[in-house]
Every structure is written in structure tokens, then in C-alpha cells.
Amino acid sequence: MFITILAFIFVLGILILVHELGHFIVAKMVGVKVEEFSIGFPPRIFSFKKGETKYSIGALIFGGYVKMLGEETESASPRAFNQQKPGKRFAISVAGVIMNFVLAWIILSIGLSIGMTPPVTPSDEVPFSQATKGQVYIVEFLDGSSAQKAGVKLGDQIVKLTKGTDEVTPTTPEQVTDFSGRNKGSEITIKINRNNVPVEQTILLPATEAPLGIGMVNQSIVKVKWYAAPYVALLETWGIVKVIFMFLGSFFSQLFHTGTLSDQVGGPVAIYNLSGDAARAGIGVLFQFIAMLSINLGLINILPIPALDGGRALFIILEKIFGKRILKENIENIIHNIGFAVLMLLVLAVTVKDIIRLFHK
């Protein structure tokens, strides 16, 4: 549990810091007065002031904010957010999202240059690369699976298969299939890697066509030439964006048509559990998890929904199109506050669903 708590704080801390840092840096660059830069929401557990800005850490670590002069209330100061031209306000609004994508791209660039499993592209299709280590993972159980009955779980990596002097360290699913096929009706030992923890099980293979009763996937650790890693990381980032967009479309379609939340949606509780799993699987998996979560956060924030960065950017775009604000600032702020309340209710609903799922595993 201690590892999970540390990983959760680390993951959220990086994502929030990078996102809010984007807003902060651009606001400072264009001359807007930043009154407070906070990681986490109040109550504050630590704060200090340097220059005109207060820097703080809040007890509620599920977000952060950059409080700018003239953002929530009107101000006549030339350094107020509301006094800036649309282009500057738009740049500040989307800077956090851009930083999320940049973070993911940097992590993937470094990871691919030193060796990692590509998040989207099959290992043998990654350009400028060389597969350095084949890994076989269990992704499906067939009816009556002998492996499942023995305690093997989805997501386990098959490390070694042994029957007397017959021993295999598989790098492809075919090697596992060949081994189990020639040892039908025999008792074998399977060594697996589960969240970076070695586990050994004994399995009695039936004399059937698929003795283990599992579906497998071959995913290799790939190392990309250093000069091509940023380009390949960009392709992977775009691939992740497409996958998440498809999921978001499915999520909103289900939400509005049936009023139910997809089982694939996770909130803070799910992130907490996944952070711990990723940390136990190794530093490479943890940073890959951060990269994918960062892209997810960026895409959700850029949606044209009130209270999100995309909602604020939409009002600015409409202002630019019509040549004037379409709503008074106080009305726009009320809309964003309502949007924030609705989002918090959605987060609460997802969290409750996560907790129920956790206790009904």
C-alpha cells in the first residue's frame, strides 16, 4: 500500500504540476499578473510568496490552479487576464493541454531511445527500431482453461515453462503453444511475472487441442535509434490520441443514450490502483503510464465543456469570430462554475462506481 500511495502522489503531482506550469509560464510571458500558483486545492498545507505570486500546495491533490488577476472578477488593470487580447487569453487557456502533450512526447522519446514497449504500435512495426526482448502476455482465457484454474491471471507474463528436461523461455506465443502441445496430459511448471513479482504454478495439462486454454499477445521491448526516437514518439503520441478520442466518443454516446457510465471509465480510485500496479511493474511501465495519462488529461481538458480549458478557449474563439464577447464576464463565469459542479458530480459518480467495483472483485 505504501508503494501505491507514493506512486499515486508522484503520478498526480507530475501531471498537475506540468499542466498548471503551462498556464503559469504563458501568463507570465504575456505579462498577466499571477496571484497564486497552486498544486492541489485548499485547505493549504504549505505556501510561500515570492514576488507578486503566492505558491501553495493544497490538501486535495486532485487538481490545481493558476489564479490570475481579472480571471474570475473584472479588473481594469492592464495586467489583468480580462484586459488581454483574445490571442493572449487563448494561448494561456490551452497552454496546460499543450504541456501535457509535450510531457508525454518527452517521456516516450526517452523511453523508446533506451528501450520500452510501444503503447500503440505493434513491436515489429515500429520504424527505426530493433526488438530487444520478446515478452508473452496472457490476454484471454478459454472456457475451462487449465491455466486459469491453476491461478494464472490475465496480464501475467509467461517467463518460463518446464517439464522435466524440456524447458522453454518463450519470446513468442508460438513457443508456448508448441511446448503445451507436446506435453498434453502432463504436469508442467509455469513461471510467470505478475506486476514485477515472480510467481510459479503447477498445471496439469488436459489432452485437448489447446491444453493451457489461453490467448496470448507478443509485445517486445523495443529500442529506437536515438535520433529517430522523438519522431517515433510523436507517432505513438498521435496513436494514443486517436485511441482516446474513439473511447471518448463511445463514452459520451453511452452516457447520453443510456445514462450509464462505461465500465472502462476510471476516476481517482482507479488511478490510485493503476499507479501502484505500474510502480510495481517497474520504472519504465510507471513512466509509460504517466505519458498515457498525461495525453488523456490533455484531451479531456481541451473538450469544449464549461470549466475545462477547452470551454474557456471556445468562448474566446467565439469572441474572435463575432468581434466582441458573446456573454458578459460574470455570466460566463457562472456558466463555468455550473460546468465545474457538473464535472465534480460526474467524478463523484465514477469514484463511487470504482469503489463498488473494488469491493466486488
In the DSSP assignment, the letter for residue 116 is B
Pick left, alpha or beta for residue 186 (phi over 0 → left; psi -120 to 50 → alpha; otherwise beta). beta
Given the residues 20, 125, 140, 209, select the one marked as catalytic.
20
Assigned C-alpha cell, 263: 465500465
Residue for grid cell 500503440: 120
Q: What is the DSSP letter of 75?
A: -
124 phi and psi angles, rounded to 5 deg = -80, 0
Beta bridge partners of 57: 39, 46
Half-sphere exposure of 340 (CA within 13 A, CB side): 10
Distance between CA atoms of residues 250 and 244, nearest Å: 10
Please give the grid coordinates belonging to residue 220.
517486445
Distance between CA 267 and CA 275 in Å, rounded? 12
20 is catalytic: yes
Q: Pick from 67, 284, 121, 88: which is nearest to 196 by CA? A: 284
- As annotated, the active-site residues are 20
